[in-house]
Amino acid sequence: MTKPKATVITLLIPLIAISVVFLLGYKGFGWEKDFKNKEIVGLVNFFSVPNPLKSEAWQVFENYLAFAKAHDMAGIRTLSYQISATCNDPAKERECLTLMDNVYLFASDLKLSDFTHFAADERQIVLYTDGPTVAILFFTRDEIGTPKVLGMKFCFEDEATAGTCVKTDPSERDLDGDGWWDNVESLFY
């Protein structure tokens, strides 16, 4: 029997699947914000996360979202592993701005405390949530280990596909042995 595959939807600056909005059911995809509460949650996260690399990656992601919200492409470039063809094309500035807005819209309600799973080595970092809607953040690491945003995915698991959205187990995460975990390199252009 073949193992059922979990549904994967990729949300990147390069590729935004608008239809995911209707599928997600992920809590809090509205715009309502309570900055005070967010600040408190941020503080709690800061003190309860013992993993400095996880915190560093999350900080990079938060800065990335702030740049996306501000339409600061130069800022996004400094934090990204790669830039989409759309955002590299001056003639497509409007489309690029829409991509930024969508990234912010989809990601701004995610919290560090949602990302209960973490895996990393010297080349990549993956943070992901519990299912059934698994949010996954992918980062690469530069020469000195600094996280660079690679992409974000939402993946849907049911009972039959639980645990199949992300492969971070050392025995199965890099089947072609090139040093990039296969879930990570699938996001490269």
Interface positions with Ca ion (CB under 5 A): 174, 176, 178, 180, 182
- Min CB(62)–Ca ion separation in Å: 28
Distance from C-alpha of 45 to C-alpha of 62, rounded to nearest angstrom: 13
Q: Which residue in the block uniquely carries the two structure tokens 């000195």?
A: 144
- Rounded alpha-carbon distances, angstroms, from residue 171 to 76, 122, 135, 149: 33, 17, 22, 25
Q: Which is nearer to Ca ion, 69 or 123 (CB)?
A: 123
Q: Which is nearer to Ca ion, 65 or 165 (CB)?
A: 165
- Min CB(138)–Ca ion separation in Å: 13
Which token pair is 156?
A: 């849907």
- Rounded alpha-carbon distances, angstroms, from residue 92 to 65, 69, 72: 20, 18, 15
Q: Which residue in the block uniquely carries the two structure tokens 């990729």?
A: 10
Q: Which is nearer to Ca ion, 92 or 123 (CB)?
A: 123
Q: Which residue in the block uniquely carries the two structure tokens 């549904």?
A: 7
Which token pair is 22?
A: 């209707």
- Min CB(181)–Ca ion separation in Å: 6
- Min CB(26)–Ca ion separation in Å: 28
Q: Which is nearer to Ca ion, 157 or 174 (CB)?
A: 174
Distance from C-alpha of 138 to C-alpha of 106, rounded to nearest angstrom: 15
Q: Which is nearer to Ca ion, 110 or 119 (CB)?
A: 119
- Please list the residues that pair with 118 across neighbouring strands: 127
- Min CB(125)–Ca ion separation in Å: 15
